Amino acid sequence: MSIWVAIFLGLIQGITEFLPISSSGHLSILQNFFGMQSPEEGHLLFDVLLHLATLISVCVVYRKDILAMIREILDLFKRKEVTLSDMERKEINYPLRLALMIVLATLPLLLVLPIKGQVEKLYYSTFFIGFALIATGFILYISDKIVTGRKNEKNITVGNALVIGLCQAIAVIPGLSRSGTTITAGMATGLNREFAVKFSFLISLPAILGANLISLFDALKEGFDVSLLPAYLTGMAAAMVSGYFAIGLVRFLSNKGKFGRFSYYCWAVGLITIILSLLV
């Protein structure tokens, strides 16, 4: 793998991970149509590093929220007992509440584990991915039609978190955008646009970390070519930078009520993918 290929794949990962256009779908299409080497063919570590790079992008953008949650969780463990008055203090309540909702929204991902093998087979079906991208387009188109709600970290409910988490679990299907699906689900459950975007990206942290820690151990056990490390790290840097700006773009467009504009791109790519899958 050359450094230029690593940069290209890093840019694709960072952009598509957060823009609502499905990173898994795009990478699968590139691998299936253009014969780019997949993780199973020797670049598992590179795949893991790209995902961890996008995780760092989220941490940088939402560092204040993440640090506030960490501080309050650590403070909670230091206390011998927690009183109701403690929990009602605003500076403690909101970060703890947000952390709890993130945990709850992550739980539905456990439902995917029994069918993980069947889901992974879909990565090799460009025809299916094309239809999934078209479905993503409709999800995004609907998002702009939803009247913005007023819920945020102060009043998001357990039901809201579980519904969004269930949508995140469904979005493991390649071609379905995780961010597009969860942001739309958040707005549909009454979250305001800004918080729907924030919550979507924050619940991606345990999802990305959990999925890739196991893969990281497998990659290190499998071994890798040390000479490729510079290319891997360069690709990782490209994914971090592009991911950071992609998050900013999503936040801007969502606040402007123009999130659905990505739907036209998804419809176009989905249709082209279906046609090519029938011809190739």
pLDDT tens for each residue of 211-233:
777 777 766 776 666 777 888 89
More confident residue, 266 or 23: 266
What pLDDT, on the 0 to 100 scale, is given for residue 208?
A: 81
Of residues 72 and 247, more confidence is placed in 247
Give the pLDDT score at 247: 94
Higher confidence at residue 208 or residue 139? 139
Longest dimension (CA), the chain: 67
What is the per-residue pLDDT for 184? 94
110 versus 80: the higher-pLDDT residue is: 110
Q: What are phi and psi of 210, to 5 degrees?
A: -65, -45
Q: Quick one: average pLDDT of 15-21? A: 88
Q: 171: which 2 tokens? A: 């979005």
Structural domain count of the chain? 1
Q: What is the pLDDT of residues 162-204, one digit of tens each?
A: 999 999 999 999 999 999 999 999 999 999 999 999 999 999 9
Domain of residue 56: give its range: 3-279
Q: Please give the model's pTM, rounded to 2 decimal places.
A: 0.86
C-alpha 121, offset from chain centre: 20
Exposure string for 84-117, b = 16+ CB within 10 A, e = fewer: eeeeeeeebebbbbbbebbebbbebbeebeeeee
Q: Assess whether pLDDT exceeds 60 at residue 69.
A: yes
Contacts of 159 (CB under 8 A, 6+ apart): 189
Give me the chain's average pLDDT, please.
85
Mean pLDDT of 39-68: 82
Cα separation, 98 vs 65, in Å, equals: 9
SS3 string of the chain?
Answer: CCHHHHHHHHHHHHHHHHCCCCHHHHHHHHHHHHCCCCHHHCCHHHHHHHHHHHHHHHHHHCHHHHHHHHHHHHHHHHCCCCCHHHHHCHHHHHHHHHHHHHHHHHHHHHHHHHHHHHHHHHHHCHHHHHHHHHHHHHHHHHHCCCCCCCECCCCCCHHHHHHHHHHHHHCCCCCCCHHHHHHHHHHHCCECHHHHHHHHHHCHHHHHHHHHHHHHHHHHHHCCCHHHHHHHHHHHHHHHHHHHHHHHHHHHHHHCCCHHHHHHHHHHHHHHHHHHHHHC
Three-point CA angle 15, 17, 21, nearest 5°: 80
pLDDT at position 44 is 64
Q: Span 153-162, mean pLDDT?
A: 92
- Residue 199: per-residue pLDDT: 96
Distance CA 268, CA 26 (A): 13
Rounded CA separation 115/113 (Å) = 5
Please give the Cα distance from 112 to 198 (Å, whole number): 24
How far apart, in Å, are the Cα atoms of 233 and each of 61, 216, 223, 240, 242?
Answer: 21, 15, 16, 11, 14
For 112-128, what is each residue's pLDDT tens digit? 888 888 888 888 889 99
